[in-house]
Structure 1
Amino acid sequence: MTSIERVGVVGGGLMGSGIAEVNARAGKDVVVVESTAEAVEAAHQRLENSLKRAESRGKIDSAAAVLERIRVVDDLTALADRDIVIEAIVEDEQAKTDLFRRLDEIVTSPDAILASNTSSIPIMKLAVATKRPSHVLGVHFFNPVPVLKLVELVPSLMTDTDTTERARAFVQDDLGKTAIDCQDRAGFVVNALLIPFILSAIRMFESGFASAEDIDHGLVLGAAHPQGPLALADLIGLDTVKAVAESLYEEFKEPLYAAPPLLARMVEARLLGRKTGRGFYTY
């Protein structure tokens, strides 16, 4: 089985930078691609800050040494020699499809894996944009990536067994994560369960049934959840919650997957949670 040493990540936001960090901490050679020079600088700063925190807490010996294994650029062709490229851009089907079409032309090795960190979009929709659907699958990490151990592996109907097993060895043996197998259905395992739960909490708050604080305290103190559903929505990002809900609803047409009006209004107002400083709570 061919080892994976050269890793590409497209997108240097919260998820992309976290994926890059865990790979560099595992000794991989990492290239992160962003869309603009400003985004490159922001991604580099995000990585540096996270690694310095890890160093201060004794999680790694040297932030500088890990950072040396990461290049952040604004040129997609820098991914040509990668063994795996992990897409971590905005949760938008058209944007991801266009990116996979370009990656198929750029990444030279026929054995290279093209992976998506999508949290909800069916992998087949991305795979058919390429001439190598057998080498496309979902590799879905969870936020914060350096902390949470779970990764969902999502092969499509066209993914080779060898591709899935290489991805499993990479995730488990190289990165030290735990992989679970998922069918190629919108939401996979975790979000297919989690998003309806969060949407129910939003509807409860929207109806005036209970305050955000009381809803979250109820689940933390009464059901031993580490975090309440509305605080969790703020952490995920309300735009991402809405995008996943829409993807689930498009696939299954179940009312419990429909985004509540309040969620739509908050996204329109750019009240997206922690990343904008205000969502159901103020940060």
Structure 2
Amino acid sequence: MIPDRPVIGFVGLGTMGGSIAARLLEKGNRVLGYNRTRSRAEALAPAGLQVVNSPKEAAAGSDVCFSMVTDDASLQAVARGPDGIIAGLRPGAIYVELSTVSPQVARDLAGETSRAGASLLDAPVSGSVAHARSGRLSFMVGGDPGVLESARPILLAIGEKITRVGNPGDGKLMKLATNLQVYVQTLAFAESLRLAERGGIDPRIAMEVLLNSVVASPMLQYRAPFMLERPEQAWFTIDLSVKDLLLALEAADQLGAALPATRAAADAFLRAAQSGRGPDEVA
């Protein structure tokens, strides 16, 4: 049973995870935080974060524990083992897993969490750092409906839309299906700009036309300007984009689904990463 004012654990305080944790603190929650690079956690201490020394400690001291890390290996490192999240979960606790990783990893962790007497919500998010900071993320959740209702008040502090899509693993699959749109649209938008510019049209004017046309998605509205003015710090890197695209293609192969546009986007982003641009902003 989750108390009315639950203590929250948060493991993984990178650019996005740190923004979500900051939002939870801003809303008056007590948050225990862990990050492998400790300085990331310590940066949130002035906002009220209680820095802990392991994922297990974050889970053991909380009623609801979140994790948000970059890939399958990182998630397994923080979730499993004697110092991992699952080892620290209290009976009846909720583990909310936010990462974009393989659906099978989420299914496996859900089983391990259940055997520990707790429940896992596979709950990746859609949105930018700005959405996280303002509480406007969108959740796609795989997990027990009753557990989701228990966690809903906390999720609503950081996201305005929560959609249950099925069971653990289904949230990750839906996230991959969502993210492939980001990369395919980004690549197509860049090609539109290139065509216009090669024909002598000022790229700023071309961007204005495109962003005021029917092709302008909410994602392009905030990401496309990065093509002309790079952010000081990458919001999302090409390396991470390649990771997501390869996961989507792996899932598609397992399900027998042909994704030709996604495969073309993966090839383009992989070439960019191999040319040394992996740490750059994906836009």
**Structure 1 length-normalised TM:** 0.72
Distance 1:229 1:113 in 2: 37
Alignment-derived partner of residue 17 in structure 1: 18
Report the AA paired with residue 212 of structure 2.
Answer: L
> CA–CA distance in 2 between the matches of 1:176 and 1:28?
15
1:202 to 169, 178, 187: 187
Aligned partner letter, 2:67: E
Residues 1:171 and 1:201: Cα distance change in structure 2 (over 3 Å) = closer
State the alpha-carbon separation in 1 of the partners of residues 57 and 8 from structure 2: 11
- 1:127 is aligned to 110
The corresponding residue for 1:260 is: 266
CA gap 1:71/1:263 in 2 versus in 1, 3 angstroms:
same
User: How many Å separate the matches in 2 of 1:134 and 1:31?
Assistant: 18
Match of 2:39 in 1: 41
Q: 2:124 touches 2:171 (CA, 8 Å); kept in 1?
A: no
Q: Which amino acid aligns with 1:113?
A: I
CA distance in 1, matches of 2:191, 2:267: 9
- Equivalent residue in structure 2 for 1:86, among 52, 66, 80: 66
Pick closer, same or farther for the CA change 1:219–1:16 going to 2, 3 Å.
same
1:216 and 1:126, CA in 2 relative to 1: closer, same or farther beyond 3 A? farther
**1:162 maps to 2:146:** yes
Quote the Cα distance in structure 2 between the aligned partners of 1:250 and 1:228: 26
User: Aligned letter for 1:227?
Assistant: Y
Please say if residues 102 and 247 of structure 2, whose CA atoms lie closer than 8 Å, have aligned partners that are also in contact: yes
Per the alignment, in what secondary structure is the counterpart of residue 170 of structure 2? coil
Where does residue 143 of structure 1 map in the other structure? 128
Paired-residue identity, %: 19
Residue 171 (structure 1) aligned with residue 155 (structure 2): yes
2:103 matches 1:103: no
Q: Secondary structure at the match of 1:89?
A: coil
What code does the residue aligned with 1:103 have? Answer: I
Cα shift at 1:143: 2.4
Q: Counterpart of 1:31?
A: 32
Shift of 1:113: 0.9
Q: Distance in 1 between matches of 2:122 and 2:13?
A: 18
Give, in angstroms, the shift of residue 250 of structure 1: 0.9
* Map of 2:222 onto structure 1: 227
The separation in 2 between residues aligned to 1:30 and 1:146, in whole angstroms, is 16
- What one-letter code is carried by the residue in structure 2 that aligns with 1:76? P
1:113 maps to what in 2? 94
Is the 8 Å Cα contact of residues 77 and 106 (structure 1) preserved in structure 2?
Answer: yes
Residue pair 2:64, 2:95 contacting (<8 A) in 1 also: yes
Q: What is the deviation of 1:94? A: 3.0
User: Could you say which residue in structure 1 is the equivalent of 2:54?
Assistant: 75
Is contact 1:220–1:227 with CA below 8 Å preserved after alignment?
Answer: no
CA shift digits 1:121-141 (9 cap, x unpaired) = 323143234424861112334
CA RMSD across the alignment: 3.3
Partner of 1:60: none
* Aligned partners of 1:12 and 1:33 also within 8 Å: yes
Kindly indicate whether the alpha-carbon contact (under 8 Å) linking 1:139 and 1:151 is maintained by their aligned counterparts in 2: no
What stretches of structure 2 of length at least 5 have no aligned partner?
254-258
Does 2:216 align with 1:242?
no
Residue 56 of structure 2 aligns with an amino acid whose one-letter code is T
2:79/2:86 contact within 8 Å kept: yes
TM-score computed with the length of structure 2 as normaliser: 0.72
1:171 Cα deviation (Å)?
1.4
SS in 2 for 1:227: helix
Contact 1:150 1:177 in 2 (8 A): yes
Other-structure match for 1:51: none
Deviations 1:15-42 (A, max 9, x none): 111121111112111111111xxx2224
Q: 1:87 to 1:193 in 2, by over 3 A?
A: closer
> Displacement of 1:87 after TM fit?
0.8
Question: Which residue type is aligned with residue 249 of structure 1?
Answer: L
Distance in 1 between residues matched to 2:101 and 2:239, nearest whole Å: 13
- Shift, 1:244, TM fit: 1.6
Query: Any runs of at least 4 consecutive aligned residues in structure 1 with deviations exceeding 4 A, and if so which?
Result: 186-191, 203-218
The residue that corresponds to 1:2 in the other structure is: 2
